[in-house]
Amino acid sequence: MKYMQSLHRFSWLVLLGLLLAQGVQARELPEFTRLVEQYSPTVVNISTTQKSKAGIKLPHGLEIPELPEGTPWDDLLRRFFGEGGEGMQPEQESRSLGSGFIIDRDGYILTNNHVVEGAEEIVVRLSDRREVVAELVGADQRSDIALLKIDAADLPVVQVGNSKELKVGEWVMAIGSPFGFDHSVSVGVVSALGRNLPSENYVPFIQTDVAINPGNSGGPLFNLDGEVVGINSQIYSRTGGFMGLSFAIPIDVAMDVVSQIKEQGYVSRGWLGVLIQDVTRDLAESFGMKRPHGALVAQVLDDSPAARGGIEVGDIITEFNGEEVINSSDLPPLVGRTRIGSDARVKVLRNGKMRSLKVKIAELPAEETLQEARSERQHTQTDRLGLQVGELSSAQRKELDLASGGVLVQQVEEGPASRAGIRRGDVIIKLNSKQVKDPRQFKELVDGLPGGRSVPVLVLRRGGPLFLALRVPGD
């Protein structure tokens, strides 16, 4: 009997020990040494040489504030002010450092566009200390991807993973050259997926808490299976160094860019032709929505796929090709990766009712062309009155009980309009006793206003009419 009791007690102790061991094992951190040993040789250091233009240096004692890596302010300030001191700085050679990784044995290397942009010479240093001059095969500024090629033998290559399978909380590892320290390793977890940054509309970034610093740009982000799932690209920082927010380009996006560069020498994207904004809680309530979601169309560019497909200002795009649009930032990547010339199914909320539209996607024009189209559409007459106006949506007309005519004041700059008391959000329905029909006709009325005298302006504000006196500047 005592023997059975002892055996029973021993069995419980063994079981308890196994459970405790499993609990301890579950709490252990993942092991990265094998991954580092196997895949560190695939990561390269990239240095570039470029001519620095002459710039005005800051007075003695003043310094340029530390800024996040790759921001437009960073480039702008250094372009004009250099790095300190006084007077003009002469043209000189400058060097920059970044990272990259080898994607196949033919010598193709992936990195960030901002690492090699404007470079006169690109030198790749391999893990075995070989240094090879690289050729820039192609680059895409919108996604910040560049494809290089080197002529070298016995090249180790990465395994390309699938960034769509990533999950928030998953462990990831970065290898790169922060501040020029080759093959530095940092680890962390995926903090969020599908992040959209203001400067990058077509990239759904992977956010991590992996320590990324200047020089890490262009380096790989590995998962625990040793697969590359992203390219470390940007950081959010008030000091210029790591502050817990890092952003990587999904490898799926990068490999699509690589494929297009190899096949056609450039990258093309789908284009809808709308300017959009988020649906706030107040806007959702005004549109009769139970919750804020979708992309609110603030502007439809002339002769665009959206215009031809029947999308209107005030529509809320809630679904694109079967994929739900939660935030406005979800839409550009969905449109961008749609095949050019294909018909996209777009669901919109208009006047409280869902509508399904078919839109033939066109190729995204150059940024300069888009800027011209936007400014041409938005511009009214800022020189004389300081106003920018736009069309009213169907929902806004319904709310104001305005069947036709009128323009919405989108922006009021310093000038006669602001002095007259015209505000953003006003609806101008009469100018100088003449009915306002649309933005184009409003511009003609403004051009024909007599200079040096006051004219009446009738606006709708909070649904009620209000006359204002507008003093027109003399010619």
User: Could you name the CATH architecture of 270-369?
Assistant: Roll (2.30)
Is the pLDDT at 447 greater than 60, yes or no?
Answer: yes
Q: What is the pLDDT of residue 380?
A: 42
Is the pLDDT at 152 greater than 80, yes or no?
Answer: yes
The stretch 179-208 carries a mean pLDDT of: 87
Q: What is the pLDDT of residue 325?
A: 92
Report the mean per-residue pLDDT for the chain: 82
Catalytic pick from 96, 143, 144, 177?
A: 144
Q: How far apart are CA 298 and CA 353, in angstroms?
A: 18
Is the pLDDT at 312 greater than 50, yes or no?
Answer: yes
Is the pLDDT at 108 greater than 90, yes or no?
Answer: yes
Q: What is the pLDDT of residue 125?
A: 94
The stretch 83-92 carries a mean pLDDT of: 50
Is the pLDDT at 48 greater than 80, yes or no?
Answer: yes
Q: What is the pLDDT of residue 234?
A: 87
The alpha helices in 344-401, defined as continuous H runs, are 367-378, 394-400
- Whether 217 sits among the annotated catalytic residues: the reply is yes
**255 CB neighbour count, 10 Å cutoff:** 17
Least confident of 285-294, 381-390, 432-441: 381-390
The token pair that represents 29 in the structure block = 């951190």
The stretch 401-425 carries a mean pLDDT of: 86
Q: Does domain 43-149 bear CATH number 3.40.50.300?
A: no
* Strand spans (E) along 343-420: 343-350, 353-360, 362-363, 387-390, 407-412
The stretch 437-442 carries a mean pLDDT of: 88
- pLDDT category of residue 64 using cuts at 50, 70 and 90: very low
The stretch 288-317 carries a mean pLDDT of: 88
Catalytic pick from 217, 304, 328, 329?
A: 217
- Is the fold of 270-369 the same as that of 379-471? yes
Q: What is the pLDDT of residues 393-407, one digit of tens each?
A: 777 787 788 888 888
Q: What is the pLDDT of residue 84?
A: 46
Give the HSE-up count for residue 157: Cα atoms under 13 Å, Cβ half-sphere: 13
Q: What is the pLDDT of residue 131?
A: 93
- Secondary structure letter of residue 31 according to DSSP: P
The stretch 378-403 carries a mean pLDDT of: 73
pTM for the structure as a whole: 0.66
Is the pLDDT at 277 greater than 90, yes or no?
Answer: no
For the segment(s) 379-471, the CATH number from 3.40.50.300, 2.30.42.10, 3.40.50.720, 3.90.50.10 is 2.30.42.10
Q: Which amino acid is at 89?
A: Q
Catalytic pick from 96, 114, 163, 191?
A: 114
Domain residue ranges of the chain, discontinuous segments joined by +: 43-149, 270-369, 379-471
Least confident of 69-73, 108-112, 308-312, 371-375: 69-73
- pLDDT category of residue 74 using cuts at 50, 70 and 90: low
Q: Give the list of residues 6+ apart from residue 51 with CB closer than 8 angstroms, or none.
A: 91, 92, 93, 94, 120
